[in-house]
């Protein structure tokens, strides 16, 4: 079994991992931490007992918020022993169920599990046996979803995270659907050993998908606008540290100077030092994460004291004096300054390496999925791509890509330009009742794909100018005495 560089097999849930909680078709990405309260689908629980189990294990939430592995139990045959031929005589008047809300609450207070509650509901239903087999199955699934607190912990992947983001927060990923993302990776020829340029504002989802497919081999230059990169979705993948060693970042504001040859590492480094958003990005992101965790814990009311309360005299004795407090503050300030300088030095080194990679102009592919207009981004970033390499541009709307198509045709240097739209429909596959699902997405966006080639237009123009000049020079030589 393959193991990670740190410890333990890769398919085992460990503390500090990024995991995805699944219940039916609902997903949520969380960090596996001990003594941290998680709220998911109106259920609260702790992930302490999940540590050490294999990914894909289904757990049942018991009293006290602890998770217990759910044992596979065969469906009771008594549930569907008798079934009616049709449902025409069944009237939904709310009187068929003998158990009241108070009775169900009393069963929960006694610690009776959800499966037993569902069985009680079936036995106390006056119309259950008159329903058809299909209606009985539908009734059981509905009650299990309501009363059975069952959660599956799965390992993050591109398909799972893209589905989660598209269903819950599509605006954060520019309404990028998972089938469109899969086509982007295919058309972009993303594989291990490549040098990829990625410009995206999809919360890091496209970047994470490319990193997952490359498997830590090769290099990626992430172009970013504004003060810094956004990698919320990338962090949900839970990549090891080795994956980030070949990940570089370069600001879009420096692309023009890099193309013109006026880019200097010293000027960029001084701007990085003076720029608070870049210099303090890691500190800010860490503070924001801590603040969000504290706010979530406060809202849930989960502030658990880790130590017992001390008497007032003991607390007063433990308080440091003014001199000790001042010395501690100075030490902390010095440590923070050293950390800040170290981070700035690492940023300068990474920026220098990213600029050197871009200056070679031999990238193996380009992917653009941004909320900005793609035309200026594409025309400038294509300069860093080697000939005979693919590029992919995603946009939620068709008109910006049409403009890109026209400008690339006029400029030249590309072949096999294609503008496409994907169409996706989910199907329900069940015995004797397979059909398309009624709910489907309206659109998955548009893709502009192509392959770079050496632009021969400029060379042809130069040759024609030289040919027209040669006869004139010879003519002047013949006229001279």
Q: Is residue 460 part of a domain?
A: no
Amino acid 283: pLDDT:
38
Domain assignment of residue 388, yes or no:
yes
Find tokens 């999925």 and name the residue: 369
- Predicted confidence at residue 85, as pLDDT, reads 67
User: According to the model, what pLDDT value does residue 266 have?
Assistant: 56
Q: pTM of the full predicted structure?
A: 0.73
Q: Give the pLDDT score at 72.
A: 59
Could you say which of 91, 118, 145 is where a domain stops? 145
Instruction: Tell me the pLDDT of the chain averaged across its residues.
Output: 77
Q: Which residues share a beta bridge with 223?
A: 199, 250
How many angstroms separate the Cα of 313 from the Cα of each of 308, 318, 319, 321, 324?
Answer: 15, 9, 10, 15, 19
Asked if 132 and 257 sit in the same domain, the reply is no
Q: Is the pLDDT of residue 325 over 60?
A: no
Dist CA 371 CA 393 (whole Å): 11
Residue 1 belongs to some domain of the structure: no
pLDDT band of residue 475 (cuts 50, 70, 90) is very low
CATH number for 251: 3.40.50
pLDDT at 294 over 60: no
How many domains does the structure of the chain reveal? 2
**Beta strands per DSSP E along 32-91:** 37-40, 43-46, 58-61, 67-69
CA of 213: how far to CAs of 178, 258, 427, in Å?
15, 29, 27
Residue 248 has pLDDT above 80, yes or no: yes
Q: Are residues 285 and 217 in the same domain?
A: yes
Q: Which of 92, 122, 145 is the last residue of a domain?
A: 145
Q: Which pLDDT band holds residue 24 (cuts at 50, 70, 90)?
A: confident
Choose between 410 and 268: higher pLDDT: 410
**What residues make up the domain containing 133?**
82-145
pLDDT tens digits, 169-225: 899 999 999 999 999 999 999 999 999 999 999 999 999 999 999 999 999 999 999
- Tell me which H or E stretch contains 427: strand 427-428
Indicate if 265 and 413 belong to the same structural domain.
yes
* pLDDT of 89 strictly over 90: no
Residue % of the chain over a pLDDT of 90: 36
Residue 470 has pLDDT above 60, yes or no: no
Residue 242 lies in a domain: yes
Q: What's the pLDDT at 397?
A: 93
* 469 within some domain: no
pLDDT at 373: 93
Q: Quote the crossing angle between the two packed helices 205-214 and 158-168, to the nearest 10°.
A: 170
Distances (CA, A) of 139 to 127, 146, 225: 11, 11, 51
Domain assignment present for residue 431? The answer is no
- Over residues 305-327, mean pLDDT: 45
**335 assigned to some structural domain:** yes
Q: What is the largest CA-CA distance in the chain?
A: 122
Q: What is the pLDDT of residues 38-70, one digit of tens each?
A: 888 888 889 988 999 999 998 888 777 888 887
Same-domain status, 226 and 98: no
Say whether both 256 and 193 belong to one domain: yes
Tens-digit pLDDT profile for residues 148-159: 778 899 999 999
Give the pairing type, strands 446-452 and 43-46: unpaired
265 and 352 together in one domain: yes
Judgement on whether residues 233 and 354 belong to the same structural domain of the protein: yes
Residue 232 and residue 100 share a domain: no
First-to-last alpha carbon distance for the chain, in angstroms, is: 90
β-pairing, 195-200 vs 219-224, is parallel
Of residues 448 and 341, more confidence is placed in 448
**Residues 279 and 337 sit within 8 Å (Cβ to Cβ):** no
pLDDT cut 70: percent of the chain above it: 74
Q: What is the CA radius of gyration of the chain?
A: 31
Instruction: Provide the angle, in degrees to the nearest 10, between the axes of the packed helices 399-411 and 374-381.
Output: 30
| Helix-, strand-, coil-residue percentages of the chain, each rounded to 5 | 45, 20, 35
Do 259 and 359 share a structural domain? yes
Burial class (CB within 10 angstroms; exposed 0-12, middle 13-18, buried 19+) of 463: exposed
Domain match, 139 and 251 both: no
Report CA-CA distances (Å) from 363 to 189, 200, 452: 12, 17, 11
Q: How confident is the model at residue 281 (pLDDT cuts 50, 70, 90)?
A: very low
Co-location of 167 and 140 in the same domain: no
**pLDDT score of 295 more than 50:** no
> DSSP letter string over 262-292?
---HHHHHHHHHH-HHHHTHHHHHHHHHHHH
Residue 311: is its pLDDT beyond 70?
Answer: no
Picking from 145, 179, 199, the residue at the C-terminal end of a domain is 145
- Stretch 338-360: mean pLDDT: 86
Query: Torsions phi, psi of 455, nearest 5?
Result: -80, 115
3-class DSSP state of 394 = strand
- State pLDDT tens for residues 366-394: 999 999 999 999 999 999 999 999 999 99
Of the two residues 152 and 288, the one the predictor is more confident about is 152
Q: State yes or no: pLDDT of 462 exceeds 50.
A: no
- In this predicted structure, the answer to whether residue 92 has a pLDDT above a threshold of 90 is no
Question: What's the CA gap between 245 and 247, in Å, rounded?
Answer: 6
Picking from 18-22, 158-162, 181-185, 310-314, which range would have the lowest pLDDT averaged per residue? 310-314
Lowest pLDDT segment from 94-103, 391-400, 435-444, 469-478 = 469-478
- Assess if residue 70 is contained within a domain: no
- Both 176 and 134 in one domain: the answer is no
Average pLDDT over residues 355-371: 92
Joined together, the tokens standing for residue 216 give 């830590």
Collapsing DSSP to helix, strand or coil, 15 comes out as coil
Query: What confidence score (pLDDT) does residue 282 get?
Result: 39
Q: Which pLDDT value is given to residue 41?
A: 81
């Amino acid at each position: 079994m393959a193991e990670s560089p740190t410890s333990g097999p890769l398919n085992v849930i460990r503390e500090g991992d990024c995991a995805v909680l699944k219940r039916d078709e609902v997903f949520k990405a969380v960090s596996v931490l001990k003594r941290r309260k998680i709220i998911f689908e109106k259920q609260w629980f702790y992930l302490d007992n999940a540590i050490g189990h294999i990914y894909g294990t289904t757990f049942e939430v018991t009293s006290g918020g602890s998770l217990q592995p759910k044992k596979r139990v065969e469906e009771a045959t008594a549930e569907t022993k008798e079934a009616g031929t049709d449902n025409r005589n069944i009237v939904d008047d709310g009187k068929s169920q003998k158990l009241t809300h108070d009775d169900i609450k009393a069963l929960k207070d006694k610690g009776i599990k959800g499966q037993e509650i569902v069985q009680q509901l079936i036995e106390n239903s006056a119309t259950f046996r008159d329903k058809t087999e299909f209606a009985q199955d539908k009734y059981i699934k509905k009650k299990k979803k309501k009363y059975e607190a069952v959660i599956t912990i799965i390992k993050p992947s591109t398909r799972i995270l893209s589905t989660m983001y598209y269903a819950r927060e599509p605006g954060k990923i520019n309404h990028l659907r998972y089938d469109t993302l899969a086509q982007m990776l295919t058309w972009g020829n993303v594989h291990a050993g490549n040098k990829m340029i990625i410009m995206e504002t999809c919360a890091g989802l496209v970047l994470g998908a490319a990193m997952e497919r490359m498997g830590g081999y090769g290099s990626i230059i992430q172009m970013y606008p504004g003060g810094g990169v956004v990698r919320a979705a990338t962090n949900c993948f839970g990549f090891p540290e080795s994956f980030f060693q070949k990940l570089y970042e370069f600001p879009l504001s420096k692309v023009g100077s890099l193309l013109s040859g006026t880019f200097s590492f010293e000027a960029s480094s001084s701007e990085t030092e003076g720029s608070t958003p870049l210099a303090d990005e890691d500190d800010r992101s860490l503070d924001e994460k801590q603040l969000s965790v504290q706010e979530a814990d406060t809202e849930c009311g989960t502030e658990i004291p880790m130590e017992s309360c001390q008497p007032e005299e003991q607390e007063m004795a433990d308080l440091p004096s003014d001199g000790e407090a001042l010395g501690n503050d100075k030490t902390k300030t010095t440590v923070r300054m050293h950390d800040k300088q170290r981070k700035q030095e690492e940023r300068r080194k990474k920026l220098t390496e990213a600029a050197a990679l871009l200056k070679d102009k031999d990238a193996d592919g380009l992917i653009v999925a941004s909320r900005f207009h793609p035309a200026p981004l594409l025309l400038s970033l294509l300069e860093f791509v080697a000939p005979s390499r693919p590029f992919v541009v995603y946009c939620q709307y068709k008109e910006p890509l049409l403009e890109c198509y026209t400008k690339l045709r006029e400029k030249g240097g590309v072949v096999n330009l294609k503008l496409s739209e994907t169409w996706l429909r989910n199907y329900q596959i069940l015995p004797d009742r397979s059909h398309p699902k009624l709910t489907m997405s309206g659109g998955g966006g548009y893709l502009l794909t192509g392959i770079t080639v050496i632009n021969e237009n400029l060379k042809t123009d130069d040759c024609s100018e030289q040919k027209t000049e040669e006869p004139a020079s010879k003519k002047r030589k013949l006229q001279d005495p």
